[in-house]
Amino acid sequence: MSGNRLNKYIASSGLCSRRKADELILQGNVNVNGKIINEPGFIVQPKDKVFVNQKLVTPSKHEYYRFYKPAGYITTCDDYQGRKTIYDILPDSMAGLKPVGRLDKDSTGLLILTNDGDLIYQLTHPSIKVPKVYHVTVDAKISRNELEKIANGVEIEKGKTAYADISVLEIDNKHTFMEITLYQGMNRQIRKMFESIGYEVKTLKRIRHATIGIEGLKRGEFKPIKPKQIKELKNFLNRIMQE
């Protein structure tokens, strides 16, 4: 990793995104060989030692995985309430990988896991409208007018309006099965949207995040994402960030 800019060096450790690294550097929280550096463009040499908040950081090879999260597990590294986390399923060798976004305990489906801080930032930052696709079931027949309310935007918390694209896949008098695409990343957004119009979500599964899909994965299973797929994902993100 010779000749790397300091912000890129920190991001490549998986600690944070490059933009967050810029903040840490400008705030005086980064030192190289014992000297505080305030320049994100400072060039780190092969033998330099970089510390963030007095902790040594080193670049790591980026890893990318798809994981099919089962119900009953929360998406976090640690839980002080003793609940089961996705890391109870994943091998110890993946403990350093972070989930891209979250799925609540009762939800299932695709999680991307990586130590690429820049990619995590691009996939989750609110200003970058990355599509996330879900299959959702509600145990009731929902009218077109009610679905249009969600599509046009509903208030899920004071001052927070959520919206989604919705396609009905199956409907009868007892249930509505939908494909929902989000471009926002609010906490429990889909569940809260349906609660706002008087319905409870019974099943929620993420099937796609940007260009990465859940195809070929069984519940609880994980697989590396192929380099070609990562290239396609990064090209896709570059296109949306330029729009």
CB neighbour list of residue 168: distance below 8 Å, 6 or more residues apart: 147, 176, 177, 178
CA torsion sign for 62, 122, 216, 77 is: positive
Q: Rounded to the nearest 5 degrees, what angle is found at the Cα of 161, between the Cα atoms of 133 and 205?
A: 20
Torsion (CA) 56, 59, 60, 62 in degrees, nearest 10: 140
What residue spans of 5-44 are helical by DSSP H?
6-11, 18-26
Q: How far apart are CA 216 and CA 17, in angstroms?
A: 30
Q: What's phi and psi for 239, nearest 5 deg?
A: -65, -45
In the set 22, 48, 92, 104, the catalytic residue is 104
104 is catalytic: yes
Q: How many residues does the chain have?
A: 243
Alpha carbon distance, N-terminus to C-terminus of the chain: 32
Residues with a known catalytic role: 104
